[in-house]
Amino acid sequence: MKHQSIKICVATLIVVVMLSLMCCTNGTSTSNNLNPLILIPGNGGNQLEAKLTTQYKPSSLICEPWYPLFKKKNGWFRLWFDSSVLLAPFTQCFASRMTLYYDQELDDYFNAPGVLTRVPQFGSTYSLRYLNPRLKLVTDYMASLVDSLEQLGYIDGKNLFGAPYDFRYGLAAPGHSSQVGSKFLNDLKNLIEKASNSNGGKPVILVSHSLGGLFVLELLNRNPSSWRKKFIKHFIALSTPWGGTIDEMFTFASGNTLGVPLVNPLLVRNEQRSSESNLWLLPNPKMFDIKKTLVATPYRNYSAHDMVDFLKDIGYSEGVYPYETRILPLIKKIEAPNVPITCFVGKGVKTMEELFYRNDDFDERPEIFYGDGDGTVNMVSLLALESLWKDEKNQYLKVIKIADVSHNSILKDKVAVDEIIGEVSRINSHDDQLGLSKISLAMPIYDGK
């Protein structure tokens, strides 16, 4: 009887140990089986803070350094997104503080004098969950996607990271200075290496949205293949405007409120024109047909090949030189990085296809004709990599189209987020670099919802 009791105790102990191991495997240790993942937001997709120095010259009395009233102890305050931008007098303050200036002699872009800017908590997902944590319902950006990744087992700061940046700045072709954009690429590279090294040397999954995808592609192509092979597991690009957007021509011509109510678009137009990244997002003449009219007036039609004349005619001739010298050479060739890439794109959403101005006054809102896309980016731009890389034998490319999902809702729509999480899970289930040596063009997963 005594020996029987011992056997029962031993058996019970074994069961308890096995159950404990199973709990650990299905619980906290799940995160140990995941490749580290870094989120890279799009244009306007993270918080931005500012601080004013004695060199700051207010554009009006109401824009004196006392505004805004509530600042951190060291003088920093929320620049993007702050709800006071909705009120016209403060809209002007916001616009003047967000404006960049191109110095042709130094060949680079700079903040307005007396305005310092910074991105809070680089490396964390904090500043890209909500553009303003006090207005979560209306400024939710990547919160839904982050929550779903955490349910998968990802933990912020451990194997989940965010790479926010000053989205007003872009990049330039080789031979041109781009201090802010280049620093971001270097910071992102260091974050990738840190994420990999702190997770047992596992390569990293990069998940970008919109403009962030252009930065990631530049980072990959500016580093040697040995580095890419060691540190990059997969690149997931969401709603990336590979060839720019017609929406940007609308922004440059007439100003764009980006859906923010009550804002006069003409109050933010000059600030939007000054953005280096916006210049980068103008339609790429390599993607858009030379015969395709994008903007029309009674006196002149403009295609993607007429951008210099377009910039002059809308009254922004100062943008011509940086566009010709910095942007055109940058977008001339989009090279395949030989890193596995999955593109998620929305389709079936009304997207600006052609703008018609009834006279030469670009202050007036145009008549808009629509085509297919995600509501912001045209299909020819979203699907550009398919045609550009069709002959690339060493580039794996998978394209997933989701119907009726817009440019930003791809980050929170349940069908889209579930599909993105499914792709992340699939990538994590592969121990190698997919071992694929040719382009794989996936058929549309969703033609309707």
Question: Hey, which residues are catalytic here?
Answer: 210, 374, 407
Residue 439 tokens read as 């382009």
How many angstroms separate the Cα of 292 from the Cα of each of 296, 306, 353?
A: 11, 11, 10
Contact 345, 399 (CB under 8 A): yes
How many angstroms separate the Cα of 342 from the Cα of each of 81, 239, 399, 439, 449?
A: 30, 11, 6, 11, 21
What number of other Cβ atoms are within 10 A of residue 257's Cβ?
15
The half-sphere exposure of 231 on its side-chain side, counting CA atoms within 13 A, is 21
Quickly list DSSP for 250-283.
Answer: HHHHH---TT-TT--HHHHHHHHHH-HHHHHTSP
Please state, in angstroms and rounded to a whole number, the distance separating the CA atoms of residues 212 and 45: 9
Contact 425, 233 (CB under 8 A): no
Query: Which segments within 228-385 are labelled E, that is strand?
Result: 232-238, 295-296, 301-302, 341-347, 351-356, 367-371
